[in-house]
Amino acid sequence: MGIVNVTPDSFSDGGLYLDPGRAAERGLALIEEGADILDVGGESTRPGADPVPADEELRRVLPVVRALRGATPALLSVDTSKAEIARAVLDAGADIINDVDAARLDTELLRRVAAAGAGLVLMHMKGTPRTMQVNPQYRDVRSEVTAFLGERLTVAQAYGVAPEAVILDPGIGFGKRLEDNLMLLRGLDDLAALGRPVLVGVSRKSFIGKILNAQPQDRLEGTIAAAVLALAGGAHILRVHDVRALKRAALVADAILAGEASAPPSERREPRYAQ
Q: Is the CB of 53 or the CB of 70 nearer to ligand HH2?
A: 53
121 is a contact residue toward ligand HH2 (CB under 6 A): yes
Per-residue b/e over 7-39, b at no fewer than 16 CB within 10 Å?
beebbbbeeebbebeebbbbbbebbebebebbb
Q: Does 239 bind ligand HH2 (CB under 6 A)?
A: yes
Q: Say how many Å lie between the first and final Cα of the chain, rounded.
A: 27
Q: Does 82 bind ligand HH2 (CB under 6 A)?
A: no
Calpha distance 39→2 (Å, rounded) = 6
Q: Is 79 in the site for ligand HH2 (CB under 6 A)?
A: yes
**Residue 81 touching ligand HH2 (CB under 6 A):** no
Number of helical H runs and strand E runs in the chain: 10, 8
Of the residues 142, 239, 244, 268, only one is catalytic, namely 239
Is 248 an active-site residue? no
Residues contacting ligand HH2: total by CB under 6 A? 21
Q: For residues 21-50, which are near ligand HH2 according to CB under 6 A? A: 41, 44-46
Q: How far is the CB of 198 from ligand HH2 (least distance, A)?
A: 11
Query: Under a CB-based contact definition with an 8 Å cutoff, are residues 141 and 93 in contact?
Result: no
Q: Rounded to an integer, what distance in angstroms lies between the CA atom of residue 139 and that of residue 135?
A: 13
Picking from 11, 90, 4, the residue whose alpha carbon sits closest to that of residue 40 is 4
Candidate list 3, 61, 120, 132; residue touching ligand HH2; CB under 6 A? 3
The site for ligand HH2 (CB under 6 A) is made up of 3, 5, 7, 10-12, 41, 44-46, 79, 98, 100, 121, 123, 169, 171-172, 199, 201, 239
